[in-house]
Structure 1
Amino acid sequence: MKTFRKIFLAIIALAVMGLAGGTAAADTLTVDADGGTDFTSIQEAVDSAKEGDTILVMPGKYVENVHIGKPLNIISGVEAPEEIVVEAADRRDHVFHIRADNVNISGFTLQGAKYEDNLLAGIYLDNVQKSTIQGNILLDNYYGIYLKKSRENLLNRNVASNNKYGILLCVSSGENILSMNRISDNYYGVDLENACNNNILTGNTVYSNRENGVMVISSSCTDINNNNISLNPKTGLKLDNSRGNSISNNSVSESERGIFIVLSGDNRVTGNSVNSNNLCGLQLGGNAERNTIEENSFVKNKDGIFIAYSARYNTVANNIVLNNNKGIYLIGHSDYNEIQENIVCSNSLGFCMESCKENVLSGNIVTNNTDRGILLTESFDNFIYNNYFNNANNVAEDKTNIWNTTKTAGKNIAGGLYLGGNCWASPEENGFSQICQDAEGDGICDSSYQIGDFDSDELALVYSPIADSLIQNKLTISEIAENESKAKGVSIEKEAAEKSPLGSVYPVGVFLIAFLISGGKRNK
């Protein structure tokens, strides 16, 4: 059997050559806490290994703190990371402390780096580049995985639970990729702060953390895409004092705020499903400026889109805002925003605006809102034209606003040939635009539509059945979006149960070889 073991060890060196990233001279060292292999502790193997070597660890429990100062591959000898537990011998030290580039750690449970509020981690990357951390379980540490001044690393298919922070990147840790990780039941899920720029978060499941799911603080150009973020009580995804970030194609649900952008500008939020959040689907607040919110769906939140407290110069376009309390809600000197071509349907209030000025609302479809299509309080000089209102009560205001543009050639939202004011319809088909006269046949009502005691729409649009098919098609799209949003949000537990933390990235041959090696040890 010793001969077989030598053969298998030679094969293992070939199997992990891709992980080693080195030359044919790299060796494979084996570790088993029960003996019968090269070493009984991981640290002993690390100390003896050469740069580029692979350390293969057999199942068991290892009570030690491992310090790694050279390029190595430290990998599990079994598929299930819960079978190899490395617990901090000194709870005031990291479990794995990495201080070299090109280190690969795969397939362990790392736990116990927690002493009061000392900043300790299951895996700590300290000024490290081009390392891979994949398929590990991080439990009961202060930080599950902690990167400081570390760049171009891959964190893939890890599970972080019951830590203070699931994953933390700080102090200029940029150009890292966090993919397919499962982050749950921590105090904070994923946190990037202090000039952590140009990172990618993709395909992660972040749920049931006790505060926030994902936070980006004082960092720029992060790409957050295709993540499932839910059941984080405070905020699903927060940008704070951060610029130039992209948030796309995520499902964000069941928090107080789904997406919260504060003191941040020039960010893009596109293609997300944001539903069932207790305060709002998305909030732009605290001087958030020049952000673009487009092609998202906001379904069954308290408020769909909340633009608050001097959030200015933002663009909100082509979103579906459905079955919320307030669909799109502006308050507190949130001025100079452009809100265009959204579907705002079946909310209590479609649009609500309080103490705001000089916003532009155009091209929006505002229908079936039960209280009112648009309500303006202490708001003035807003420019509202070419919108389609079809609600039992369309509008109320207490200040003066602008309800039409100059008559201009161009197809309007009701299907006519001129831009002017708005289309004012009602579900009973007796709305102003449905019954007004149009002697000239130009699609503009001959008389103006009176709005409260202050204003009128001088160029109200004539309703046309021709526009119904387009509007109905858009409303059908909104129903599809609601169903897709529901489907996207209900699969977290199933997805988490089905995914192996290692996935398909771990060499299958290593499992078989490791099994035979461990069997050889037992039969010695």
Structure 2
Amino acid sequence: MVEKLLESVKKFFFLAFLVIAIPASIPIACAGDITVDVNGSEKYTSIQAAINESSNGDNIIVLSGVYIENLVIDKPLTIVSKTGDPTDVTIKAPLPDVVAVEIDANNTVFKGITITSYYRLGQDYGIVIMDNENVTVENNIFTGCKKGITIVRSYNCIIEDNYMEGKKGGKGIDLYLAGNNLIRRNTITKSGGAIWEDYCEIGNVYHENNLSENWNGITLIHDSDNSLVYDNLIQGNENDGISISWADNNVIVNNWIIENGQGINIYDSKHNNISSNVVMDNTYGIEFASAYSNLIYNNYFRNPTNIAWGDGLNTWNVSKTPGENIIGESYIAGNCWLDDGGNGISHELPDLNGDGICDEGYDVEYDGWDYLPLKDNGKIPQRNHTEIKQAPINFDLIINALLLAAIIVKKRRGK
């Protein structure tokens, strides 16, 4: 077991390295500037016309205005609003059944633009990236799109700082057979699934996204393995905050999962690491069915009902290890279990030696034991409110979580 977990650590280090190295992998070309003005002050009044006559590596700079067109970007270009403010440039796609912006070239940058629909019922697709690498989609606004950004068989892309207001039954960011992509600092609301990953075996990184008022927050499904989900705010979603189905070897760490229908739902999935999350004020904290060999520890569960239903056999603690835990005490071990009033197992069980670990284990309903539940100290974890746009990627917490997973004792306390 330890060897397998160490191998997972290596895989995640490699994924982290690839993600950090993405910008360095984009070749630098000698670029020319092409300016587009829908009001006629420049040679081009259409963005697509500028694309058609551009050369690889050119910068297409778009002046303020509303552009009624569907775009096909078939060469490596940078397309950016002149001011960088997405409210200054709007692309209104006049054809609802056609992709608003289709990206068919590697090393493309699309930045600072609003995408919406001329058609009153909305646009089916905002941006589609298919069979490409090193595409950056940054600081855009999507409104009225059934699917905001769709990524198919594409790798090493960066999707960051976008705002998406979706449609019921649709998806914010939809990934299919895609890997090594970095999805960070996006705000997604009012969609069916804010982030949806399907058949993505290589794994992706989801960092500091704000996902609220959707049906589901993050969904990993159908062999979507090896993804890293950390530092996200997942709040007020009607169904699941995080849903993992038929998906293995994912790391879910340091997320705020609050006020959803269910905080975390695990179905027919194994070897996932779920640690250091705040799962609070959801109708149900966690549900699992046919879920085996998942590691769930150092989480703060505070919900009216923490366990919705269960069927499996999972590990709910690591060995007592020095280090600051989820409620600020000195040892990492099991989970903190409280109800919505601040009572519950972690409040009621004794801690006679004062080490912050309850002296008795907790028989997790339907599924094994948390042999080392954390003793409630009355503190509610506080979310770090660092300005998101200035927050650097920091893998220290994830690395610590993975290393802890690699030193699980083979014989759990009490057996």
TM bracket (short chain):
0.7 to 0.9
Q: 1:298 aligns with which of 292, 296, 301?
A: 301
1:154-169 superposed matches below 5 A: 154-163=158-167, 164-169=170-175
Q: 1:288 aligned to 2:291?
A: yes
Task: Mark the CA change 1:20 to 1:202 in structure 2 (over 3 Å): closer, same or farther.
Answer: closer
Query: Which amino acid letter does the alignment assign opposite residue 320 of structure 1?
Result: C
Q: Deviations over 1:27-77 (max 9, x none)?
A: 110001001113101000000000011100001000000001110000111
Within a 5 Å distance, the mapping from 1:389-408 to structure 2 comes to: none
Matches of residues 118-517 of structure 1 in structure 2 within 5 Å? 120-163=124-167, 164-170=170-176, 172-209=177-214, 211-218=215-222, 219-278=224-283, 280-283=284-287, 285-299=288-302, 301-306=303-308, 308=310, 310-316=311-317, 317-324=333-340, 359-360=368-369, 362-364=371-373, 474-476=375-377, 479-480=378-379, 482=380, 484-485=381-382
Q: Give the residue type in structure 1 aligned to 2:89.
A: I
In structure 2, the gaps of 5 or more residues are 1-23, 318-332, 346-355, 393-415
Aligned counterparts of 1:94 and 1:150: Cα–Cα separation in 2? 17
Identify if the C-alpha distance between structure 1 residues 162 and 363 changes in structure 2 by more than 3 Å, giving closer, same or farther. Answer: closer
1:385-426 Cα offsets, whole Å, 9 max, x none, are: xxxxxxxxxxxxxxxxxxxxxxxxxxxxxxxxxxxxxxxxxx
Q: CA contact under 8 A between 1:95 and 1:113: conserved in structure 2? A: no
For the structure 1 residues 105 and 48, does the alpha-carbon distance in structure 2 shift closer, same or farther, using more than 3 Å as the test?
Answer: same
The alignment yields a C-alpha RMSD, in angstroms, of: 3.1
SS in 1 for 2:293: coil
Report the AA paired with residue 249 of structure 1.
N
Work out whether residues 68 and 98 of structure 1, in 8 Å CA contact, stay in contact via their aligned partners in 2.
yes
1:342, distance to aligned residue in structure 2 (A) = 6.3
SS at match of 1:45: helix
**Counterpart Cα distance in 1 of 2:28 and 2:118:** 31
Q: Which residue of 2 aligns with 1:440?
A: none
Partner Cα distance (1:158, 1:101) in 2: 20
- Equivalents in 2 of 1:148, 1:115: separation in Å? 27
Q: State the match for 2:79 in structure 1.
A: 74
Distance 1:327 1:303, change over 3 A: farther
CA distance in 1, matches of 2:290, 2:180: 28
Counterpart residue type for residue 253 of structure 1: I
What residue is the counterpart of 2:321 in the other structure? none
TM-score (ref. length: structure 2) = 0.75
Deviations 1:458-485 (A, max 9, x none): xxxxxxxxxxxxxxxx432xx22x2x25
Tell me if the contact between 1:93 and 1:113 (Cα under 8 Å) persists in the aligned partners: no
Aligned to 1:48: 53
- Look up the equivalent residue of 1:95 and give its one-letter code: A
Secondary structure of 2:313's aligned partner: coil
- C-alpha distance in 2 between matches for 1:353 and 1:182: 34
Matched, 1:23 2:16: no
Distance across 2 between alignment mates of 1:257 and 1:113: 36
* Cα distance between partner residues in 1 of 2:253 and 2:38: 46
Give, in whole Å, the separation in 1 of the partners of 2:129 and 2:114.
Answer: 17
In 2 relative to 1, CA 182–128 (structure 1 residues): closer, same or farther, beyond 3 Å? same
Deviations 1:187-218 (A, max 9, x none): 22111112353200001111111x11111112
What secondary structure sits across from 1:82 in the alignment? coil
Contact kept in structure 2, 1:233 and 1:256, CA below 8 Å: yes
CA distance in 2, matches of 1:166, 1:154: 15
Q: Deviations over 1:67-105 (max 9, x none)?
A: 011100001111320110001121111111011111100
Deviation at 1:252, TM superposition (A): 0.3
Distance 2:181 2:73 in 1: 20
Taking structure 1 as the reference length, the TM-score comes to 0.60
Of the candidates 71, 93, 101, which is equivalent to residue 98 of structure 2? Answer: 93
Q: Is the 8 A contact 2:65 2:89 kept in 1?
A: yes
**What is the distance in 2 between the residues matched to 1:48 and 1:360?**
65
SS at structure 2 position matched to 1:192: strand
Secondary structure at 1:291 match in 2: strand
- Once the 2 structures are TM-superposed, how far is the Cα of residue 20 of structure 1 from its aligned partner? 8.6
How many residues matched? 341
SS at match of 1:173: coil
Check the 8 A contact 1:143/1:166 in 2, yes or no.
yes
Q: d(CA) in 2 for partners of 1:267 and 1:191?
A: 17
CA 1:272 to 1:260, structure 2 compared with 1: closer, same or farther past 3 Å? same
The structure having more radius of gyration, on CA atoms, is: 1
Counterpart residue identity of residue 191, structure 1:
W
Using the alignment, how far apart are the partners of 1:232 and 1:150 within structure 2?
28
Q: Which amino acid aligns with 1:197?
A: I
> Is 1:122–1:138's contact at 8 Å kept on the other side of the alignment?
yes
In structure 2, distance between residues paired with 1:131 and 1:160:
18
Check 1:343–1:78 CA distance in 2 against 1; reply closer, same or farther (3 A cut): farther
Q: Percent identity?
A: 26
CA 1:351/1:150 → structure 2, altered by over 3 Å: closer, same or farther?
same
Q: Cα distance, 1:22 vs. partner?
A: 2.8
Q: Distance in 1 between matches of 2:39 and 2:391?
A: 29
CA distance in 1, matches of 2:273, 2:76: 38
Matched letter for residue 304 of structure 2: K
Q: Distance in 1 between matches of 2:83 and 2:273?
A: 42
Counterparts in 2 of 1:238 and 1:156: CA distance versus 1, 3 Å: same
